[in-house]
Amino acid sequence: MTTFVDRVELHVAAGNGGHGCASVHREKFKPLGGPDGGNGGRGGDVILVVDQSVTTLLEYHHSPHRKATNGQPGAGDNRSGKDGQDLVLPVPDGTVVLDREGNVLADLVGQGTTFIAGQGGRGGLGNAALSSARRKAPGFALLGVPGEARDVVLELKTVADVALVGYPSAGKSSLISVLSAAKPKIADYPFTTLVPNLGVVTAGSTVYTIADVPGLIPGASQGKGLGLEFLRHVERCSVLVHVLDTATLESDRDPLTDLDVIEDELRQYGGLDDRPRLVVLNKVDIPDGLDLAEMIRPDLLARGYQVFEVSAVARTGLKELSFALAGIVAEARAAKPVEESTRVVIRPKAVDDAGFTVNQEEDGIYRVRGEKPERWVRQTDFSNDEAVGYLADRLSRLGVEEALMKAGARGGDGVAIGPEENAVVFDWEPTVMAGAEMLGRRGEDHRLDEPRPAAQRRRDRDAARDDAQREYDEFDPFK
């Protein structure tokens, strides 16, 4: 049964925004109380957050489809819809987020670091929010915007200070088990370790983490054996420790050749040339192993390596090794630049940026692309003539009609707004008239301008009373 997963493909879908409401306030003796439709709620985001209590991506391996909740639609009486709840997905420290093409979207390191993998859709405005001095009674509302849906790849790169690398059965698992409290699987056959193991080591005042990377073999950088699955786990380590088996039973192997093979694989993988190296000659408790260690030690020193002879079984040479690693880790931490707080970068738009583009395609259709026009199209209810007319007004104010004319569009030409897979295509006319305009200006209700009998009677009564009062004041009995 799989217990460790360090690479998954995650399918995320943010929540859709709720639709706005088109409603008219109704009350006794007030048949036309004005628009009171509420706005739709915002759709929930899908958020990745680093949680150090999580050590594997196993949960997303079993259930890779994740969706946030939708925003609720608005209602009458100016009631806005409830916002959708954000979906927070905990990931291990050191998770890298990539798109399907392999481009890095985020590198999540540090407790609490977040990344919005899917942006929730914006809620639609109700007709109360759309009303204005010129548009007193809108008979439409805007639709909610669909939430962002995309596929991302999560890759886990272990965050450790020291990485133990070497051939299978070189004794890496035994070494980490005696240096720390980790309890990896230990057996006398190759590829016993199938997942990276982490341990915490205390040497004096320095506390550091050490990772046991599964055994590497020739061709690991090209994917042979378990190479590519776990070479990524050495990328974040400050120190690389070559664990060499001095008591190997294979006649075609020797420690120096093993070192050259592993170094070649690390070089082909790339990005690790600047990491300090140590060499550990393991299994010196065996007489033949001790003799071989003493034989190759001068060659390793001549290459510039620090060499330690240890025995995980006899527990010899471990103190010197742990304090040497602590010193290198401390130096690496001291040399690390101080992390600055995240700066807010504001990039204003260029003065000539219209916010959209108009291009004529080979089939003669004029395609309009831009964040605002595409969002406005998604928010429009095309079954409502007044809503279509409102969209035409917005596009005209943005300058889309003028740009179409400059591009050579004529009445009756096809215009598409949005990408090919979900574009809205229509026959363009320079001036779009909706049915509501036949009754007056768009968004107005002529019934609001009609005289009301009760109000007229009150005005007549008040006028008669004022005339009577004026005649009384002007009356002079002595004339």
pTM above 0.85, yes or no: no
What pLDDT score does 227 carry?
A: 45
Tens-digit pLDDT profile for residues 392-415 = 889 988 999 889 988 888 888 899
Q: What is the mean pLDDT of each run of 10 residues along the chain (479 residues)?
A: 70 96 86 87 95 85 94 94 95 89 88 92 94 87 94 84 81 82 49 60 85 60 47 78 81 80 80 84 86 89 90 87 90 75 67 82 89 92 90 90 89 88 84 47 55 74 82 65
Q: Using CA atoms, how far apart are residues 379 and 19, in angstroms rounded to an integer? A: 8
- Taking only the tens place, the pLDDT of each residue in 175-192 is 888 887 656 544 443 444
Residue-level pLDDT at 444: 56
pLDDT score of 44? 96
Are 179 and 199 in contact by the 8 Å Cβ rule? The answer is yes
Torsion of CA 252, 253, 257, 259, to 10 degrees: 160
The three-state secondary structure class of 156 is strand
Amino acid at 51: D
- Contact yes or no for 361/409 (Cβ under 8 A): no
- DSSP annotation of 181: S
Amino acid symbol at 262: I
Nearest to 213 by CA among 162, 248, 178: 162
- Give the pLDDT score at 134: 83
| pLDDT score at 257 | 85
